[in-house]
C-alpha cells in the first residue's frame, strides 16, 4: 500500500514538471513567469552552476555556446534561474584568439558601457553592452581582438550567426537590461554549463579567501617579500609603487593614525581552472572610508597552493580615475591623509574663531571671515560692526561647541556643531552652520547661520 502511494505522488510530481515546462515553451512571457518555479525545483536538488563560487551581486549572466542560450541567475543566498533566452554567438566554434576570427570569447567578463537605440546603428538593435574582452588573462594568454558586445539585432535570431558578439532579440535584451550593473554584473561565457553540489567548491573557496586575507594583511602590515609571497613565480606584479605606499603608511603612523585597507563585496567566479576574485577596495582611517576602486585578482592552483596569477582594476573611483600614471591605492591614501590634515586645520580654525569671539577681540575675530562674507543681509563690514555693538552689552561672553561635523568637497567645507552662547545676562543653545571657502590658500568663513533649539 505504501509503495502504491509513493508511485502516485511521484507520478503527480512528474506531471507538474512536464506541465510547467509545456506552459513555458508555449509563450515566452509565460515562460519568464514560470521559470523561477522550475528553478526552485532545481535548487531543491542542491546543485548550482559550477562557475559561481561566491557571490556578492544580485545577478549573474551565463552564456552557453553549445546550446546557444543565455541564462540570468538571481542570488539571494541561493542561486535561481530567473530568465532564459535564445542567443546567437560567433559563426565559428571555439574560443576567440584573434581579431576577425568570428569566434566568441570564453571566460569571465563584465559590462563596461550601456548604449541605447538612439546611439546605435540598426544592426545592434535597441541596446548594446560592451564587455571587457580582452581582459588581463586573455592578454597574458596572447588572445587579441576588440569590440565584443552583448546587443540586440534588426533581424531574426539564428544560432551561431554573429561575428563574435552575443546577440539577443530586442525584446529579450530590453528585459535583461534592468539586471545589468556596469563593472559588477558578470557575464560568464562557456561552451557547456556544468552544475555541481552547493558545497562542491567549499574547500577551494575557503583556500582562496585565506590567500586573499594573507595578501591583504601583508599589504597593510607586512613586508615586500611577504606581499609577493601571495603571487605565482610565473607572474611578476608591478611593485614600483611599494616605496610610496610605505611612505604614506609611515606618515599616518607619525600622526598617530591607523591606515587600513578593506575589501568589501567579494565575489569569486571560475572558468577553466582560473578563479577570478572581484571586490571593492577601500582605504579607511578613524571611520572615514574612501573607495579606491573595483579590483580583480586572477587566482590559480599552483602545485597544491592557490596563488595570484594576475591582477587589474575593473574600475577606479572617479576621484582617482584621471591619475592613471599613479597607483590608485597610493593616491587614495594620500587623499585620505590630506582630509585628516584639513580636518585638523578646520577644527583649529573653529576653535580660534570661538576664542576670539569669547575674548570680544573684534579685530582677530574678523580675520576668520572671507571678504565676500554675507549673513542676515549684512556684508562683512556691517557684520563686524553689529558684533562689536553686541560685545559692548555684556560683561563677558563665552561661546563653545559640541558635536562638530565637517563635510568637505573640492571647493568648500560645511561645518555644523551645537553652539552654546553665555553672557552675564543671556544664554542660548542652537545649531551653528558655517560654509568655508579657500581665500589666498586659507579656509575662511563664507556663510554663517544659527538656529535656536
What is the CATH classification number for the domain harbouring 139? 2.40.440.10
DSSP code at position 182: T
Whether 354 maps to a domain, the answer reads: no
Are residue 6 and residue 37 in the same domain, yes or no?
A: yes
What pLDDT is stored for residue 47 in this prediction? 83
**Site of grid cell 579657500:** 438
Are residue 74 and residue 135 in the same domain, yes or no?
A: yes
Are residue 431 and residue 405 in the same domain, yes or no?
A: yes
Per-residue confidence at 344, pLDDT binned at 50, 70, 90? Answer: confident
Are residue 158 and residue 272 in the same domain, yes or no?
A: no
What pLDDT digit, counting tens, does each position of 183-198 carry? 999 999 999 999 999 8
**CATH number of the CATH domain containing 423:** 3.10.450.50
Proportion of the chain above pLDDT 90, given as a percent: 68
Are residue 80 and residue 170 in the same domain, yes or no?
A: yes
Count other C-beta atoms under 10 Å from residue 344's C-beta. 11
C-alpha cell at 329: 591605492
DSSP code at position 2: H
What pLDDT is stored for residue 323 in this prediction? 56
What pLDDT digit, counting tens, does each position of 47-76 carry? 889 999 988 878 999 999 999 999 999 988
Among 174, 197, 220, the domain boundary falls at 197
What pLDDT digit, counting tens, does each position of 280-296 carry? 999 999 888 999 999 99
Residue 407 has pLDDT above 80, yes or no: yes
What SS3 class is residue 380?
A: helix
The angle formed by the CA atoms of residues 404, 318 and 213, to the nearest 5 degrees, is: 80
Q: Which of 9, 13, 33 is nearest to 23 (CA)?
A: 33
- Residue 23's φ and ψ, nearest 5 degrees, are -60, -45
| 373-386 mean pLDDT | 92
Residue 3 has pLDDT above 60, yes or no: no
What pLDDT is stored for residue 261 in this prediction? 94
Are residue 83 and residue 3 in the same domain, yes or no?
A: no
| 217-240 mean pLDDT | 93
For the chain, the residue count is 453
What pLDDT digit, counting tens, does each position of 415-448 carry? 999 999 999 888 999 999 999 998 988 899 999 9
Residue 357 has pLDDT above 50, yes or no: yes
Measured distance CA(219)–CA(263) in Å, rounded = 12
What pLDDT is stored for residue 44 in this prediction? 39
Residue 8 has pLDDT above 90, yes or no: no
| 100-129 mean pLDDT | 95
Instruction: Identify whether the C-beta of residue 349 lies closer than 8 Å to the C-beta of residue 368.
Output: yes
Are residue 27 and residue 15 in the same domain, yes or no?
A: yes
Domain range holding 13? 1-45
Per-residue confidence at 27, pLDDT binned at 50, 70, 90? Answer: very low
Measured distance CA(41)–CA(35) in Å, rounded = 10
Are residue 294 and residue 402 in the same domain, yes or no?
A: no
| 248-267 mean pLDDT | 91
**CATH number of the CATH domain containing 213:** 3.10.450
Whether 120 maps to a domain, the answer reads: yes
Measured distance CA(422)–CA(163) in Å, rounded = 78
Whether 347 maps to a domain, the answer reads: no
Measured distance CA(303)–CA(320) in Å, rounded = 38
Residue 154 has pLDDT above 90, yes or no: yes
Residue 411 has pLDDT above 90, yes or no: no
Split into its structural domains, the chain has a count of: 4
**Site of grid cell 577570478:** 276
What pLDDT is stored for residue 318 in this prediction? 80
Residue 24 has pLDDT above 60, yes or no: no
Proportion of the chain above pLDDT 70, given as a percent: 89
Whether 346 maps to a domain, the answer reads: no
| 248-271 mean pLDDT | 91
C-alpha cell at 208: 582562496
Per-residue confidence at 114, pLDDT binned at 50, 70, 90? Answer: very high
What pLDDT is stored for residue 40 in this prediction? 38
What pLDDT is stored for residue 28 in this prediction? 40
What SS3 class is residue 398?
A: strand
Are residue 76 and residue 29 in the same domain, yes or no?
A: no
Residue 32 has pLDDT above 50, yes or no: no
Are residue 406 and residue 387 in the same domain, yes or no?
A: yes
Whether 385 maps to a domain, the answer reads: yes
Q: Which of 375, 348, 363 is nearest to 434 (CA)?
A: 375
What pLDDT is stored for residue 324 in this prediction? 59
Taking each helix axis from N to C end, the angle separating 28-44 and 2-26, rounded to the nearest 10 degrees, works out to 150
C-alpha cell at 373: 562674507
Measured distance CA(217)–CA(202) in Å, rounded = 22
The angle formed by the CA atoms of residues 392, 353 and 421, to the nearest 5 degrees, is: 55
Are residue 5 and residue 70 in the same domain, yes or no?
A: no
Are residue 38 and residue 60 in the same domain, yes or no?
A: no
Whether 189 maps to a domain, the answer reads: yes
- Residue 219's φ and ψ, nearest 5 degrees, are -65, -40
Instruction: Identify whether the C-beta of residue 153 lies closer than 8 Å to the C-beta of residue 129.
Output: no
CA 173 → CA 72, 166, 170, distances in Å? Answer: 11, 11, 5
Cis peptide before 304 (omega within 30 of 0): no
| 398-408 mean pLDDT | 90
Whether 217 maps to a domain, the answer reads: yes
DSSP code at position 231: B
Cis peptide before 134 (omega within 30 of 0): yes
What pLDDT is stored for residue 34 in this prediction? 31
| 152-173 mean pLDDT | 96
Whether 24 maps to a domain, the answer reads: yes
Per-residue confidence at 4, pLDDT binned at 50, 70, 90? Answer: low
Amino acid at each position: 500500500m505504501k509503495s502504491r502511494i509513493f508511485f502516485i505522488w511521484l507520478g503527480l510530481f512528474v506531471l507538474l514538471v512536464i506541465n510547467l515546462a509545456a506552459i513555458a515553451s508555449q509563450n515566452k512571457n509565460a515562460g519568464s513567469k514560470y521559470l523561477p518555479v522550475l528553478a526552485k525545483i532545481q535548487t531543491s536538488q542542491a546543485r548550482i552552476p559550477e562557475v559561481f563560487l561566491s557571490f556578492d551581486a544580485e545577478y549573474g549572466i551565463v552564456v552557453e555556446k553549445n546550446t546557444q542560450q543565455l541564462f540570468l541567475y538571481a542570488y539571494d543566498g541561493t542561486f535561481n534561474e530567473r530568465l532564459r533566452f535564445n542567443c546567437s554567438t560567433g559563426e565559428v566554434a571555439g574560443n576567440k584568439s584573434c581579431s576577425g576570427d568570428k569566434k566568441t570569447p570564453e571566460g569571465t567578463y563584465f559590462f563596461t558601457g550601456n548604449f541605447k537605440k538612439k546611439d546605435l546603428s540598426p544592426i545592434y538593435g535597441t541596446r548594446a553592452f560592451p564587455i571587457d574582452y580582452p581582459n588581463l588573462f586573455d592578454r597574458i594568454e596572447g588572445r587579441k581582438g576588440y569590440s565584443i558586445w552583448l546587443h540586440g539585432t534588426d533581424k531574426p535570431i539564428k544560432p551561431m550567426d554573429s561575428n563574435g558578439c552575443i546577440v539577443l532579440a530586442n525584446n529579450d535584451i530590453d528585459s535583461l537590461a534592468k539586471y545589468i550593473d556596469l563593472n559588477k554584473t558578470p557575464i560568464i561565457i562557456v561552451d557547456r554549463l556544468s552544475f555541481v553540489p552547493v558545497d562542491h567548491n567549499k574547500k577551494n573557496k575557503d583556500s582562496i579567501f585565506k590567500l586573499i586575507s594573507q595578501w591583504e594583511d601583508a599589504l597593510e602590515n607586512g613586508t615586500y617579500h611577504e606581499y609577493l609571497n601571495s603571487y605565482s613565480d610565473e607572474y611578476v606584479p608591478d611593485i614600483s609603487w611599494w616605496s610610496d605606499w610605505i611612505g604614506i603608511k609611515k606618515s599616518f603612523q607619525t600622526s598617530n593614525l591607523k591606515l587600513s585597507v578593506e575589501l568589501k563585496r567579494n565575489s569569486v567566479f571560475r572558468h577553466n581552472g582560473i578563479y577570478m576574485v572581484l571586490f571593492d577596495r577601500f582605504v579607511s582611517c578613524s571611520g572615514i572610508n574612501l573607495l579606491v576602486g573595483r579590483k580583480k585578482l586572477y587566482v590559480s592552483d599552483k602545485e597544491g597552493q592557490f596563488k595570484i596569477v594576475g591582477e587589474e582594476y575593473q574600475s577606479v573611483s572617479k576621484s582617482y580615475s584621471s591619475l592613471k600614471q599613479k597607483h590608485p591605492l597610493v593616491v587614495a591614501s594620500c587623499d585620505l591623509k590630506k582630509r585628516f590634515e584639513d580636518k585638523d586645520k578646520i577644527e583649529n580654525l573653529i576653535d580660534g574663531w570661538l576664542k576670539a569671539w569669547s575674548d570680544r577681540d573684534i579685530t582677530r575675530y574678523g580675520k576668520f571671515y572671507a571678504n565676500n562674507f554675507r549673513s542676515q543681509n549684512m556684508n562683512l563690514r556691517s557684520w563686524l560692526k553689529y558684533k562689536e555693538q553686541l560685545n559692548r552689552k555684556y560683561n563677558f561672553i563665552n561661546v563653545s561647541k559640541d558635536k562638530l561635523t565637517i563635510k568637505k568637497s573640492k571647493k568648500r567645507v560645511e561645518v555644523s556643531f551645537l553652539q552654546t552662547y553665555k553672557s552675564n545676562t543671556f544664554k542660548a543653545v542652537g545649531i551653528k552652520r558655517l560654509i568655508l571657502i579657500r581665500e589666498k590658500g586659507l579656509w575662511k568663513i563664507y556663510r554663517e547661520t544659527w538656529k535656536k533649539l
